[in-house]
Amino acid sequence: MKENKRKEIFPFFKNNPNATYLDSSLTTIIPKVVIDEMSNFYQFYLPTIERSNNILTEKSKELFLLSLLKIAQFINAKTINEIIPTSGTTNSLNLLSISLLDDLKEGDEIILGEFEHASNYLPWLVLAKKKKLKIRHYKVNNDLKIDYEDLKKIKNSRTKLISVSYIFNSIGTINDIKKIKKIVGKDVLVVVDAAQAVGHIKIDVKDLDCDFLAFGGHKMFGPNGIGIIYGKENLLKNLKLSNYGGGMFEYYNLEKFDYRKLPNKFYAGTPNITGIIGLAKAIEFINQIGIEKIRNHCENLKFLLEEKISKLEDILILNPKIRSSILLFRKKNIHSEDINYELQQHNIFARNGFYCVNNDNKLLNTKEQSIRISFQYYNNEDDVLKLVETLKNGGDFLDGLFNTKKNKKCA
């Protein structure tokens, strides 16, 4: 599809024709086909399953199961038994930390990164405090990539779990999950936060050999309020439950409680059927374009922007030469919140802050917030040039008078 035609398949741009949206790491714009799929489901189907044995619920169940199958195939899971619907990536990671509570004991160790998104740090930190676990941090080299040799050193016999982003949401580095699994070995659980990866790079859970993987729909052209936990089937069979209710039990009384087989043991209450159907349609949309085409398109725009703004005065690029859809930069003596305000006056929507990463300022050797530009399929070279011209000509406003500390914001 021609670049100038891409935005036509997204109703948001039809209704906001002057918007230059450069914040897809926060959330993606939803294409019309996904909106229509969800709307049609509400209009022609009953949005529940297995609560009444009639033809209406059976039709909905069929669509639900077919959608789960599409999701499983998208990440190359073995069966839908390895796919557990949640409300998003954050919910997935929290559920995992709660469910693994009884599998860890005092003195066990967890490996994390200091600059992981809060959603992939705080659940494990809370777990560590409850169980008196030790958290170790792997190092990151000056090229903003994980120091795998350091990871080998800190992994030991007490290490039980490592949780890591496939792509860092702030700097855009793609981490080698397969290599991490080989380093820590089969006895250490590898949990992957794939929120930023799922809409940009091909994910093959069999090849990665990760134990659990979490992602959400709203960063991959899908609806918000829907997410997925992938888990190896043998692990999910034994995983402790965190939710209980109708739909997940075989039988219970005061003496006995038996839950259903996978994946139904995790279906306490009515799942977000419409969200699953919308997510499956978003996957179909991605597959029709091609995930590699999306990746190359976004990375090319990132490198084009990097080339253009590196020539501007007082611009500091914080993640140079990183193959990614994300570019991070600052302007000398100007607070990023002021830059972001100026961009919005030109209908350019980006992101400023620390992006829910508490220690990114240490990693990037700066105590200042930054501007994050993140691309998706609907962006084009015109978006890049508009941003560059605005930065170039915005000097009258961006005078640095308000270069003070601002409150952190999450994204």
Q: What's the CA gap between 410 and 353, in Å, rounded?
A: 8
pLDDT at 361: 65
Count other C-beta atoms under 10 Å from residue 389's C-beta.
Answer: 12
Q: Which residues contact 307 (CB under 8 A, 6 or more apart)?
A: none
Q: Which CATH architecture has domain 3-30+290-393?
A: Alpha-Beta Complex (3.90)
For the 33-288 domain, the top CATH level (class) is: alpha beta
Domain-wise residue ranges, the chain: 3-30+290-393, 33-288
Q: Which of 187, 190, 151, 195 is nearest to 357 (CA)?
A: 195
List the structure tokens of 42.
């509400």
Q: Which residues contact 311 (CB under 8 A, 6 or more apart)?
A: none
Q: Which of 377, 391, 407 is nearest to 6 (CA)?
A: 377
Q: Which residues are catalytic?
A: 356
Q: What is the pTM of this model?
A: 0.94
Q: Which residues contact 227 (CB under 8 A, 6 or more apart)?
A: 85, 86, 87, 88, 89, 90, 91, 92, 214, 215, 216, 217
Count other C-beta atoms under 10 Å from residue 271's C-beta.
Answer: 21
Which residue numbers in the chain have pLDDT < 70? 1-4, 359-361, 365-366, 395-411
Q: What's the CA gap between 406 and 80, in Å, rounded?
A: 45
pLDDT at 40: 97
pLDDT at 5: 83
Q: What's the CA gap between 193 and 212, in Å, rounded?
A: 9
